Structure 1
Amino acid sequence: MRARPASVAVLAPAVLLGLAACSTDGAPDAEEPGATSAEATADATADACAAGELPTLTDGTLTVGAGEPFEPWYVGEPTSGEGFESALVYAVADELGYGEDDVVWETVTFEQIISPAIKPFDLAAYQTTITEERAEAVDFSSPYLTSHQGVIVADDGEYADASSLADLEGARIGVTAAQTSLDAAEAAWGDAVEITPFSAAGDGMTALTSGTVDAMVMDVDQGVAASTVYFPDTQVVGTLPDVGEPEQLGLVLDKDSALTECVSQAVDALEADGTLDGLRTEWLKSDDIPELS
């Protein structure tokens, strides 16, 4: 699932060819420049990502950007370590050699996170989908979650029994303006529904419970928390079909940040050792929600 750094992928064939060219009748090989070069590159990368060597905004501190905390991403304040992204950040920090006391949180808006402006953080963790358009303005780490867009309706509403996309035709659908829910809703229904953008998911959910819209589309994991914690008279009836490539969330960094490769390596390590799977199981509850077709 995780792509390894391009430099390693390019070097591997060259190393193999170097070994084949140097072998002679089973005799021990002389020094192999290709292997030495690869080892030197790996050593240099490890040194660059060593604790205390990262060029963070403040020496010895990892500054993390996030918006207003809400479940399942943050339970309580981001400093709690509770919730999927809060726990993720502390796990990444640990991989990079930073203790809990070395992590400082900065409250930012979603627009600040995805804009090309210089960031007041080293990395941001705020449910940011990796897209080609955004990648022109910011860097992303390796993805830490593959996500889907969920459809939330009121328990006593007209669409409470919806089990297909067709069942929701004619509905007033709320989406979050700057996020991928808009594209997913347009791809799913086209002109068969009336789409209303909201500046924040909470605004859309408030509109749903008041009857201003009939359904709300948002990240399904966010939707599960919204329907069980914040708006208990609502339910997630299903997810929308993916648009193009599956949606994946990544940590956000400044464009061409010197930290990007190190942060990606940390995420990759957490995927490889099962930490990310454990965090998904502990904090996200969306595995059994069906896709609407």
Structure 2
Amino acid sequence: MKLRKVTAASAAVFALALTATACGGDDSGDNGSSSSGGGGKIKIGIKYDQPGLGLKTPQGYEGFDVDVVTYVAKELGYEPDQIEWVETKSAERENALSRGDVKLIAATYSITDERKQKVDFAGPYLLAHQDLLVKADSDISEATDLNDKKLCSVTGSTSAQNVKNDFAPKAQLSNRGGYSECLSALQNGQVDALTTDDSILAGYAAQDQYKGKFKLAGLKLSNENYGIGVKKGDTETVDKVNKALEKMVSDGSWDKAVEENFGPANYKNERAPKIGQLVQ
């Protein structure tokens, strides 16, 4: 076999190519995040339309989910300016992770057995409950008080139907396209209460235009364990995120985030849940 002679020039080119591959190669993966932070980016899925949890504003992104996952990202080696936020609606969360569109999802993502078949979860980082939001002067304090009253929920949600089935069979259900529409209807007296997770209700009620106008009934109609979604099989990332969440609780950052995002609505949150332990 005849060997081709390698000249000094071609050897130099080859060496440069190797150097470029080692220093500037793309090790970010499909979701645009490197394994150890540094100069890379990390794509994180959040909600864009939930005040108090995940909200896109002209100034940036804010909310409890945003604060939690920003803390987590920093522990993974990413500064806030290295985070690329991706709107991740409820119906697209599993697909976004499986496709590698995002590395993490923090978007009021309740951990369920069905979802655990498709994705892995770190956490939980918040225990929420289905609750009622009513006017500040309302005498509604129990779900059974909703008999013959108008109950608003978002189209496609099962929350209102659950109340009707389990607590107030005579409740009159009124669906709207979004929570903001339900709030307007509640404020105008068109409905008597709004139902969904207490964390979501508290986030809306904490907005400046609604402060002091609404209150949470303080019911616990269900348990919702919010977790951070990770691609199925990525146990290394799950372990790192769990360690970050434990640190966030221990150093007081978790309590601070709760107060800043939900405090104005007088949200009586549960204590930080134990990592890896779900409340059924």
Task: Please report the TM-score for the alignment, with normalisation by the length of structure 1.
Answer: 0.66
Q: Which residue of 2 aligns with 1:235?
A: 214
Q: Aligned partners of 1:261 and 1:162: how far apart in 2?
A: 43
Once residues 119 and 210 of structure 1 are traced to their aligned partners in structure 2, the CA distance between those partners, rounded to angstroms, is 44
Across the aligned residues of Structure 1 and Structure 2, the Cα RMSD in angstroms comes to: 3.3
- Which residue does 1:251 correspond to in 2? 228
TM-aligned CA deviation for residue 112 of structure 1: 0.7
1:49 corresponds to: none
Q: CA 1:135 to 1:205, structure 2 compared with 1: closer, same or farther past 3 Å?
A: farther
Deviation at 1:74, TM superposition (A): 4.1
- Cα distance in 1, alignment partners of residues 238 and 29 from structure 2: 11
Task: Find the aligned partners of 1:186 and 1:214 in 2 and give their Cα distance.
Answer: 14
2:31 maps to which residue?
A: 57
Q: CA deviation at 1:146?
A: 1.1
Structure 1 residue aligned with 2:70: 90
Aligned to 1:202: 180
Pairwise CA distance, 1:143: 0.9
- Structure 2: distance between partners of 1:183 and 1:140: 28
1:112–1:119 CA contact under 8 A, matched in 2: no
Per-residue Cα deviation, 1:2-43 (whole angstroms, up to 9, x for no partner): xxxxxxxxxxxxxxxxxxxxxxxxxxxxxxxxxxxxxxxxxx
Q: State the Cα distance separating 1:104 from its structure 2 match.
A: 0.7
Out of 234, 257, 260, the residue aligned to residue 279 of structure 1 is 257
Shift of the 55–271 alpha-carbon distance from structure 1 to 2, 3 Å rule, reads farther
Whole-angstrom distance in 1 between the partners of 2:234 and 2:58: 23
Letter in 1 for 2:199: D
Distance 1:170-1:234 versus aligned 2 partners, 3 A rule = farther
Alignment of 1:8-47 (within 5 A): none
Q: Which of the two has greater strand per residue? A: 2
Whole-angstrom distance in 2 between the partners of 1:212 and 1:193: 14
2:107 to 126, 137, 147: 126
The runs of 5 or more residues in structure 2 that have no matched partner are: 1-26, 35-39, 270-280
Deviation at 1:95? 0.7
Mapped to 2, the partners of 1:166 and 1:123 lie a distance apart of 39
Distance in structure 1 (CA, Å) of the matches to 2:168 and 2:94 = 26
Deviation at 1:110, TM superposition (A): 1.8
Deviates more, 1:53-62 or 1:124-133: 53-62
SS of the equivalent of 2:68 reads helix
Counterpart position of 2:203: 225
Distance 1:155 1:216, change over 3 A: same
User: 1:36 is matched with which residue?
Assistant: none
Q: Contact 1:165/1:188 (CA < 8 Å) preserved in 2? A: no
How many residue pairs get aligned? The number is 233
The 1:54–1:91 alpha-carbon spacing in structure 2 relative to 1, beyond 3 Å, is farther
Q: Determine helix, strand or coil for the equivalent of 1:251.
A: strand
In the alignment, what sits opposite 1:4?
none
Conserved? CA contact 2:103–2:231, under 8 Å: yes
Instruction: State which drifts further: 139-148 or 73-82.
Output: 73-82
- 2:126 match: 145
Identity %: 23
Corresponding position of 2:163:
185
Residue 216 of structure 1 pairs with residue 194 of structure 2: yes
Contact 2:104 2:228 in 1 (8 A): yes
Does residue 262 of structure 1 match 2:207? no
Q: 1:216: how far off?
A: 0.8
In 1, are the aligned partners of 2:88 and 2:107 still within 8 Å (CA)? no
The alpha carbon displacement at 1:249 in A equals 1.0
Other-structure match for 1:18:
none
Contact kept, 8 Å, 1:62 with 1:104, in 2: the verdict is yes
Deviations 1:144-185, CA, capped at 9 Å, x for gaps? 1111223123468xxx22122332212222224555735752
Q: CA deviation at 1:268?
A: 2.4
Query: Which position in structure 1 is the counterpart of 2:48?
Result: 68
Could you say which residue in structure 2 is the equivalent of 1:135? 116
Q: Give 2:12's aligned residue.
A: none
> Per the alignment, do residues 155 and 276 of structure 1 end up closer, same or farther by CA in structure 2, a change over 3 Å counting?
closer
Q: 1:199/1:143 Cα in 2 relative to 1: closer, same or farther (>3 Å)?
A: farther
Matching residue of 2:81: 101
Separation of aligned partners in 1, 2:229 and 2:78: 18
Question: Match of 2:133, as an amino acid?
Answer: I
